[in-house]
Amino acid sequence: MKIGKKDLPRLFMPAALVVLSLVFAFFLPAAANRFRERMAREKTGSEEALATARDKVEEGIRDRQNLGIYQAAYRNLEHQGVIGNFSRMELVENLGKSGMDMQYSILPQFSVPVAEFFRMKVDRVEIRGQVLHEEKLIDLLKQIGAATHGLPLVEGCSLSRIEGASGGEPRLQASCAVSWITLEPLK
């Protein structure tokens, strides 16, 4: 069988289909490979986003659980008068209510940042006076500590005997350094 010029138009379509099939056979695997690589990258990105979202959800759950603990501790500190401001006038009034003749000096307040939400304020007070015995001094410190806002920290006391004291007269000269610690919420 011989192929002539008359047969060429009839063979053109099958030949074009063969050439087109060869082109698809060459480019289709390369395109499929590129598509597969892109899908793998997207899958990796999706897995990373999912892992990040899971971490955030777990962190939120932990924060929610801790919030109850922190809230209870905050309310407890508020109830104790640690959250808020130290009142010098309150201290002076409480010393007056003690019924003892006590002198005091209040040193300048200083602040220390302790966290991003609070500033710790320290008010140092020196209290001096005469007491009948050691327990009266302890009672006085407990009384003014409980009645004055803040957390009292007795840094130290010195006691010396008063010569010639008798009966119901004070027998000891006392001098104490007390710091009141308060926390001020930062805005």
Q: Are 21 and 39 members of one domain?
A: yes
Secondary structure (3-state) at 134: helix
The domain in which residue 13 lies consists of: 1-79
Q: Are 7 and 40 members of one domain?
A: yes
Q: Are 65 and 100 members of one domain?
A: no
- For residues 8-35, average pLDDT: 84
Q: Are 46 and 15 members of one domain?
A: yes
Model confidence over 97-142: pLDDT tens digits? 887 888 999 999 998 877 777 889 999 999 998 888 888 889 888 8
Q: Are 60 and 122 members of one domain?
A: no
How far apart, in whole angstroms, are the C-alpha atoms of residue 56 and residue 44? Answer: 18
Q: Are 65 and 3 members of one domain?
A: yes
Of 30, 56, 79, the residue that ends a domain is: 79
Predicted confidence band at 158 (pLDDT cuts at 50, 70, 90)?
very high
Q: Which DSSP helix (H) or strand (E) runs through 144? A: helix 134-147
Predicted confidence band at 1 (pLDDT cuts at 50, 70, 90)?
low
Of 79, 97, 120, the residue that ends a domain is: 79
Of 79, 106, 124, the residue that ends a domain is: 79
**pLDDT score recorded for residue 58:** 92
Q: Are 64 and 129 members of one domain?
A: no
Answer whether 0.85 is exceeded by the pTM. no
Q: Are 2 and 35 members of one domain?
A: yes
- For residues 159-184, average pLDDT: 86
Q: Are 74 and 14 members of one domain?
A: yes
Q: Are 27 and 60 members of one domain?
A: yes
The CATH number of residue 115's host domain is 3.30.70.60
Better-scored residue on pLDDT, 22 or 168: 22
Model confidence over 28-86: pLDDT tens digits? 888 888 999 999 999 999 999 999 999 999 998 888 888 888 888 888 888 888 888 88
Q: Are 116 and 135 members of one domain?
A: yes
E strand residue ranges, 84-150 = 102-106, 110-113, 118-131
Model confidence over 172-187: pLDDT tens digits? 899 999 998 888 887 7
The answer to whether 126 touches 105, Cβ cutoff 8 Å, is yes
How far apart, in whole angstroms, are the C-alpha atoms of residue 128 and residue 105? Answer: 9
Predicted confidence band at 96 (pLDDT cuts at 50, 70, 90)?
confident
Q: Are 15 and 62 members of one domain?
A: yes
DSSP assignment of 10-68? HHHHHHHHHHHHHHHHHHHHHHHHHHHHHHHHHHHHHHHHHHHHHHHHHHHHHHHHHHH
**pLDDT score recorded for residue 76:** 87
Structurally, the chain folds into a number of domains equal to 2
